[in-house]
Amino acid sequence: MIAAKAFRLALLAAGTAGGLSGAAYGLLNGQSWYARRVIGRPATDPLRADGIHLPGGVGPVPASELPADAEPLELAVLGDSAAAGLGVDFPAELPGVLLARGLADELDRPVSLTTHAIVGTTSQELAAQVEAALVRPPRLALIIIGANDVTSKLPVSACAELLGDAVRRLVAEGVAVVVGTCPDLGAIRPIPQPLRSIASWWSLALGRAQRRVVEASGGHAVPLADLLSPEFLARPGEFFSPDRFHPSAAGYEAAAAILLPVMCAAIGEWEGGPLPTAPTRSKAAEARRPTSRIVARLNRRLHRRVTS
């Protein structure tokens, strides 16, 4: 459902921004139908394993089992299906659990995980998750969002500003915020070309805008598209779940590996090596630079639509 809406609205944006020919519009319409059929709807809701996680990969455990002097670090996870961990088979594979246990090991203290992320969330719904998290402000919040923003009718700049509002609201309450920016939808193989190029262009543009506004708002941005796309492109069978849209356990593990150091640094607790950095333009994005006339023309028209 999420992917289907994304493809329909990307198609609408491309088709109305300058008037595509009937043949080009028909091509995109057929491709969006094919992608919707292949990806399908989520069969189940994401698993949950909220609670207190201990060093050594233990948890969740009841608070009553903690020593009296053990104060867990509060971690909140906000965002969309990627934040919620849709696509894994076991609770231990959830990104929130991987990060809670990673933090527990790094800090040598318990970590209390609360997941507010909801499948299908866009930046327009993020404020409600922020309010829920601030009922009891956590020490650290992770936000992963953006893929569903490709489905919205708002310009990229508006989606990024909504994310900035969420980050500023959390930071004002003393919460350290890390944001995993929009992944590159061009890595999703069921989306055929040239529709995949449109989805890629839009998601990369959103990721760049998110990064700017998050850092300007006092948060810490992790550019997931730049850092993860090469792995997802090279090993799609391993890094995507069976729906070929959401990450697999291996995909979430790869994301957690680059998010964890930044999350530790955000609370002043990172003593490892250099933090993950991203080039101005990833090799994956460079390799997909449009070359055909039709793809280049669609991208130019989409750009006018998104930024207008």
Residues 87-101: tens digit of each pLDDT:
899 999 999 999 999
Q: Averaging pLDDT over each range in 166-175, 188-197, 235-244, 268-277, which range is the top one?
A: 166-175
Token representation of residue 304: 């006018």
Give the pLDDT of residue 114: 98
Which CATH number do you get for residue 188?
3.40.50.1110
Give the full edge-to-edge strand order of the sheet including 140-144: 58-61, 51-54, 111-115, 73-79, 140-144, 176-180, 220-222
Give the pLDDT of residue 274: 77
Distance from chain centroid for Cα 1? 17
Contact 179, 229 (CB under 8 A): no
Burial of 25 (0-12, 13-18, 19+ CB in 10 A): middle
Question: So which residues are the catalytic ones?
Answer: 81, 243, 246
176-180 and 140-144 beta bridge pairing: parallel
Domain housing 211: 2-307
Average pLDDT, the chain: 80
Cβ atoms within 10 Å of 268's Cβ, excluding its own: 7
Give the pLDDT of residue 228: 87
Give the pLDDT of residue 9: 46
Which is nearest to 139 in space by CA: 101, 175, 89, 166? Answer: 175
Contact 293, 135 (CB under 8 A): no
For residue 94, give Cα distances in angstroms to 100, 153, 190, 288: 10, 30, 24, 30
pLDDT band for position 155 (cuts 50, 70, 90): confident
| Rounded mean pLDDT, 106-115 | 95
pLDDT digits (tens, 9 = 90+) for 39-51: 445 556 789 999 9
Domain count, the chain: 1
Cβ atoms within 10 Å of 3's Cβ, excluding its own: 28
Q: Where are the alpha helices (DSSP H) in 117-155?
A: 126-133
Token representation of residue 36: 């919707």
Give the pLDDT of residue 7: 47
pLDDT band for position 290 (cuts 50, 70, 90): very low
pTM recorded for the entire structure:
0.79
